[in-house]
Amino acid sequence: MTRVCLTTSAAAIAAAMLVACGTKGNGAPANPTTPTTPTPVGVRAIVVTSAPASQTTYQMTARAQMTDGTSLDVTTASQWMTSDASVATVASSGVLTVLRAGHIYVRANYQNTAGVLDMTVNVPQPPQSGTLALSGTATETAPAAKPLAGVAVRIIAGPDTGLSTMTDGRGQLLFPPLHPGVIGVEATKDSYLVWRLTNLIMDHDRDLQVVLYPVPPKDNSGASATARCNDGSWSWAETRAEACASNGGIAYTVCPGPLCQSATGR
pLDDT of residue 28: 53
Residue 12, pLDDT above cutoff 60: no
CA angle 138, 141, 142 (to 5 degrees): 140
Where is pLDDT greater, at 27 or 184?
184
| Overall number of domains in the chain | 3
Is there a single domain that holds both residue 110 and residue 76? Answer: yes
Specify the CATH number for the domain of residue 115. 2.60.40.10
Does the residue 22 lie in any domain? no
In tens, the pLDDT along 40-82 reads 888 999 999 999 988 899 999 999 999 999 999 999 999 999 9
Considering the domain architecture, whether residues 207 and 142 belong to the same structural domain is answered as yes
Which of 88, 121, 154 marks a domain boundary? Answer: 121
The CATH number that applies at residue 153 is: 2.60.40.1120
Range of the domain at 104: 43-121
CB-count burial class (<10 Å; 0-12, 13-18, 19+) for 170? exposed
Length of the chain: 266
User: What is the band of 14 on the pLDDT scale with cuts at 50, 70, 90?
Assistant: very low
Q: Does residue 126 lie in a domain region?
A: no
Which pLDDT score, from 0 to 100, does residue 35 have?
Answer: 65
If asked whether residues 114 and 153 sit together in one domain, one would say: no
Order across the sheet with 227-229: list the strands. 234-235, 227-229, 250-253
Report the predicted TM-score, pTM, of the whole model to 2 decimal places: 0.52
Residues 161 and 96 in one domain: no
Model confidence pLDDT, tens digit, residues 114-169: 999 999 998 876 656 678 999 999 999 999 899 999 999 999 999 999 999 999 99
The rounded distance, in Å, linking the Cα atoms of 194 and 189 is 8
The string of pLDDT tens digits covering residues 188-237 is 999 999 999 998 999 999 999 999 999 999 999 999 999 999 999 999 99
pLDDT of residue 23: 46
Q: Is 129 inside a domain boundary?
A: no
User: N- to C-terminal Cα distance for the chain?
Assistant: 149
- Identify whether residues 239 and 200 lie together within a single domain: no
Kindly state whether residue 217 falls inside one of the protein's structural domains. Answer: no
pLDDT computed for residue 123 by the predictor: 80
Q: Does residue 141 sit in the same domain as residue 207?
A: yes
Q: Is residue 222 part of a domain?
A: no
5 versus 185: the higher-pLDDT residue is 185
